Amino acid sequence: MGNLKIVVIGAGQVARTTHLPILSKMKDVEIAAVCDVNGAAAEAIAESFGIAHWYTDHRQMLQTEHPDAAWICVPNRFHHDTVMDTLKAGCHVLCEKPPAMNPCEAAEMEEEAKKQGTLLTYGFHFRHCAQVKLLRKMIGAGSLGNIYHTEVRWTRRRGIPGWGNFTNKKMQGGGPLIDIGAHMLDAALYLLDYPEIAYVTASSSDRIGKQGGTGRMGKWEGDSFTVEDGLFGRIQFRDGSDLQLSTAFALNQKEENLRNILLYGDQMGASLFPTELYGERDGHPFETNISIPQDHDWHEDCDRNFVKACRGEEPLLVTAAEGTYIQKLIHALYQSAESGGPVIW
Ligand SMILES: NC(=O)c1ccc[n+]([C@@H]2O[C@H](COP(=O)([O-])OP(=O)(O)OC[C@H]3O[C@@H](n4cnc5c(N)ncnc54)[C@H](O)[C@@H]3O)[C@@H](O)[C@H]2O)c1
């Protein structure tokens, strides 16, 4: 197979700072065109990355360019329609996370990929980090024993983004849960190998968001703040184990940013960031720090996995079905927070 012919849809922050710098270095990839509804943005990004063609309509681009694969980097609200059009054009798709706005959309996208016989994956890049890969191997080998409790956290003290759509529910589908919590939740469920869920409970708050203010990520307006600023959930698994999730853009905690997964097994406990193991041996407590050099960009591994999967060289690490599952879980957590009651899986 010659070069993989690709296009990028959405010329905003993630395309400009993450995917295009990575893709433009790949020798076996030809970036044929880029598209953005904002023509000036499309033209500017095409010029800075030396891309020959730019468009403002992705359907026209797909018809003209006939790409093998597309990176979809548009706001969450437009994931579904853009992914569906691209799959229908017979093109493999890497869509940025979250998969969509709700589980129906994600399921339709998964179904369409199956129908077309094309690949569909999502930008859950934390799966690709060496720490996750190592812990997953150890868990699979039984080193932690039975894991009966997991704590998942991505909380910021004052980290409400002052740009983009992050505080707009109609565009994003939600706040920190669908944006940053989704990454940690996805990595945790991958580590645990998707135990069967019994029910989900959650509560959320928008008390700090609604006040408006200025934080480490800029100034935000309280009046237009329509998402949660924090969500705190619990997932009860059928095997009796559970997972506690805390995710917040703004929380009155000491640290500016807490991001971790803690796994508690009956043989050992483990932390993801930093990667550590905890236990007792011969009546003595021990803790082991596993230093893992940060020699890989996780986004790069994510993009590379998709390119190789398009070439039939390796399987996708993040499947469309797993994307639908995470979307369903996000929805259940939001439903529980709204209703105040448990959501049976
Ligand atoms: N994996 C990660 O860690 C990560 C990081 C950042 C963003 N993201 C995801 O990437 C997506 C984009 O985020 P961003 O920060 O780049 O947003 P952004 O607002 O900076 O850029 C989005 C771009 O899409 C364009 N656009 C909107 N509708 C379009 C359409 N129908 N066709 C073509 N272009 C269209 C907009 O004009 C804009 O230029 C979001 O889903 C976000 O969650 C993921």
Type of residue at 288: T
- From the CB of 59, is ligand 1 less than 6 Å away? no
Residues 278/285, Cβ–Cβ less than 8 Å: yes
Contact 79, 95 (CB under 8 A): yes
Domains and CATH numbers, the chain: 4-126+299-314 (3.40.50.720), 128-298+327-344 (3.30.360.10)
CA of residue 263 to ligand 1 center, whole Å: 33
- In short, whether 101's Cβ falls inside 6 Å of ligand 1 is no
Q: According to the model, what pLDDT value does residue 296 have?
A: 76
Whether ligand 1 lies within 6 angstroms of the CB of 86 is answered as no
> Which residues of the chain have a pLDDT value below 50?
none
What's the pTM? Answer: 0.96
What is residue 293's predicted lDDT score, i.e. its pLDDT?
A: 77
Residue among 8, 9, 14 to mutate when testing ligand 1 (max atoms within 8 A of CB): 14
19 Cβ closer than 6 Å to some ligand 1 atom: no
pLDDT tens column, 9-34: 999 999 999 999 999 999 999 999 99
Instruction: Output the pLDDT for position 291.
Output: 84
> Is the distance from the beta carbon of residue 41 to the nearest atom of ligand 1 less than 6 Å?
yes
Residue carrying structure tokens 């390796």: 314
For residue 212, the number of C-alpha atoms closer than 13 Å in the C-beta half-sphere is 4
Q: Is the CB–ligand 1 distance for residue 35 below 6 Å? A: yes
Ligand 1 in reach of 123 Cβ (< 6 A): yes
Q: Look up residue 31 and give its two tokens.
A: 């970036």
Whether ligand 1 lies within 6 angstroms of the CB of 7 is answered as no
E-strand ranges in 96-252 read 120-122, 147-156, 197-205, 213-215, 218-220, 230-237, 242-248
How far away, in angstroms, is 12 Cα from ligand 1 center? 5
Ligand 1, closest atom to CA 124?
1
Cβ–ligand 1 contact at 37 (below 6 Å): yes
- Tell me, what's the pLDDT at 159? 98
- Is the distance from CB of 156 to CB of 179 less than 8 angstroms? no
Best mutation site among 7, 8, 13, 109 for ligand 1 pocket (most ligand atoms within 8 Å of CB):
13
Q: Dihedral (C-alpha) 24, 30, 36, 38: value to the nearest 10 degrees?
A: 70
What was the pLDDT predicted at 172?
Answer: 97
